[in-house]
Amino acid sequence: MLVIEKYNDSLHNPYWKYQLGPEAYEVKDTPHRVEVIKIALRNDERFHFVTAKTFPERIISQIHPYHDYILKTAQSLKEEEEFYPDLFPGEGAHLLKKVDAPLWGGLWCTDAVTPIKKKTYEVARASVETALTGAELIRNGKEKTVYALCRPSGHHAGPRVFGGYCYFNNAATAAEFLLQKGKVAIVDIDYHHGNGTQEFFDEIKSVFTFSIHGNPEFEYPYFWGYSEEKGKGQAVGTNHNEPLPAGTQLKEYSEAVARILKKIQAFNPSYLIISAGFDTHEADPIGSFKLRTEDYLSIGKQFKSLDIPTLVCQEGGYNTNVLGECAKNFLLGIM
């Protein structure tokens, strides 16, 4: 299997997290996450690494209205500075016309855990290009299944705002690219609901979005991911959420996957994108599911049964002691 990578991942490594007070914290999207996955895959000759291509900036900017804001804010910062928004305008706010100006963070960002640093734009763009390279390979028929080792993650970044460690939506950008040749199904298996991805395609009937995740009644992102969310307008019926309870094990998880696979088969897409987060592991510090390392092999095999061109985009997973093996098992199952 081809593994697509690009960038010096260590260029974006925020120190602070502002959640219930400022703290330097261990549970975060660190560069070490990518390194442990690379180690696990490079020790297996069935995986082959290639470097992502460069794509035109417009492919990213045309679907992310905050593209210029992230770019200009990053350019305005000194090497070790971290910018966090401090005001989030609500409904009725008098919005300024020059909305891409640096430091107006609350207009575009939902939280204070997704800061911008000097190299954030560079790394976030490279992450999207990793997904786009994989999408191009399956669209051109050169590969059947490709793994895009994306970081930062993307599934919380939407068509209005970004957040949740995510700056640009890798899976959504890849889906837009693939739509030129056929319908797309996106399945998000990260522990947290892919709210950004869902919002991108809520009214697009040629993309069916699915998400299996911790119940938003008690898990981030709280305001999205409920089972009654089915899509809007002409796309009603092309969104499906499977919120699962704390303590979910392989049996319950596999049953949710099976329900989704039936809907994908009925939709009959030309391409499948999987937003693969492994914070569903029993040892993950911010999840409550009880999946074991070996379980991801059988979950991967379930998706292989679809037998359609597939792009896997890396999302979350924060226990670096198990992350590499979880990713490897899932990919081996799909292979």
Give the residue numbers marked as catalytic: 156
HSE (CB half, 13 Å, CA atoms) of 302? 21
**Of 136, 127, 40, 81, nearest to 331 (Cα)?**
40
195 torsion bin: left (phi>0), alpha (psi -120 to 50), beta (else): alpha
Residue 6 CA: distances (Å) to CA of 34, 129, 154, 192, 317: 11, 8, 15, 25, 19
- Number of Cβ within a 10 Å radius of residue 246: 12
Q: Do 311 and 273 meet the contact criterion of CB atoms below 8 Å apart?
A: yes
Q: Is 228 exposed, middle or buried (0-12, 13-18, 19+ CB in 10 A)?
A: exposed
